[in-house]
Amino acid sequence: MFTIKSPKTLPPKLLSLKNKGKKIGFVPTMGYLHDGHISLVRKARKECDVVVVSMFVNPTQFGPNEDFKKYPRDTKKDKIILLKEKVDYLFLPSKETMYRKKHSVYVEEHRMTKILCGKFRPGHFRGVLTIVAKLFQIVQPSRAYFGQKDLQQAYLISKMVDDLNMPVQIIICPIIREESGLAMSSRNTYLSESEKHRALSIRKGLDQVITLVKKGRKDITLLKKEGSKTVKKGCDNLQYFEIIELPNFTMPRRIEKGKRYAVLCAAFVSQTRLIDNRIFKG
């Protein structure tokens, strides 16, 4: 595995591979890898000739009162994991090379970012879309892999690629969970055992909506009310519990047969903000 730090060094290396007809698969991450990240790497390894993973804790997607400084980092351990997974290139840029002093161009989306996480984390998706667009320019992948865990992010990236004619295929991979059902996240490291237990109420609330839908309940207000009640039993502060229709993230009033939906939740357990979701069919 080659570790490359400079955004200028990586493109010519990858371009020469691309010119030889190699398919480049890309997995962008913020590091502190867990099985969720690894599932994306494995899928890329299976489907592509060359696998590139980036690790960069992107400052522009964190709000002023968020956890940029304390976000967990362990590059040494991450490198061992990526070596084992037979990754070809690790891109490990610095903050200074990714955002030079005079950086002033950003990517913004003006519809889907107004709801859910976008509403509670102003500027977050502007930071995400900007860094992903920059990384796509540097890596020029054929395919890029994202987790359903960050559903709104994955759909926004698909929208960016579509709207801005970026020549990359976006692959959305399933959520990997701990045995308990808790969605894996680098931020789970902030949680004590009892907090992890309380966090399970998020998954329970999402499951409850799907059970009710299977029983024939169609009224969104009722579904949201029941699901949020369950989440609140374990969590300290529920930011949102919403049901949206896929793929456009529109807010339906009733569940209709054959359509695809997602139920999404963001809630705090003590100081830790957690997100999770499930996709289902009407």
- Which x/- pattern, by CB under 6 A, does the window 130-169 give for ligand AMP? ----------------xx-xx-------------------
* Rounded Cα–Cα distance for residues 107 and 223 (Å): 35
Q: Which is nearer to ligand AMP, 41 or 238 (CB)?
A: 41
Judged by CB under 6 A, which of 160, 161, 175, 238 binds ligand AMP?
175
Does the protein bind ligand AMP through residue 43 (CB under 6 A)? no
Answer for which of 130, 140, 185, 201 binds ligand AMP (CB under 6 A) is 185
* Residue 185 CA from chain centroid, whole number: 10
Smaller CB separation from ligand AMP, 153 or 223:
153
Q: Is 228 in the site for ligand AMP (CB under 6 A)?
A: no
CA distances in angstroms from 97 to 26, 94, 175, listed in the order given? 20, 5, 32
DSSP β-ladder status, 260-269 and 272-281: antiparallel
Q: Is 52 in the site for ligand AMP (CB under 6 A)?
A: no
Task: Give the catalytic positions in this structure.
Answer: 37
Query: 92: closest CA among 118, 57, 127?
Result: 57
Identity (one letter) of the amino acid at 110? Answer: H
Contact 249, 152 (CB under 8 A): yes
Residues 202-221 that bind ligand AMP (CB under 6 A): none
Site string for ligand AMP, 1-30 (x = CB under 6 A): ----------------------------xx
Judged by CB under 6 A, which of 183, 231, 238, 266 binds ligand AMP? 183
Among 7, 25, 36, 234, interactor with ligand AMP by CB under 6 A = 36
Contacts of 248 (CB under 8 A, 6+ apart): 112
Consecutive H or E run containing 127: helix 124-139
Minimum CB separation of residue 144 from ligand AMP in Å reads 9
Cα dihedral 99/97/169/2 (nearest 10)? -160
Q: Taking each helix axis as running N to C, give the angle between helix 124-139 and helix 151-163, from 0 to 180 degrees, rounded to the nearest 10.
A: 60
- Sites of contact with ligand AMP (CB under 6 A): 29-30, 36-37, 39-40, 146-147, 149-150, 173, 175-176, 183-186
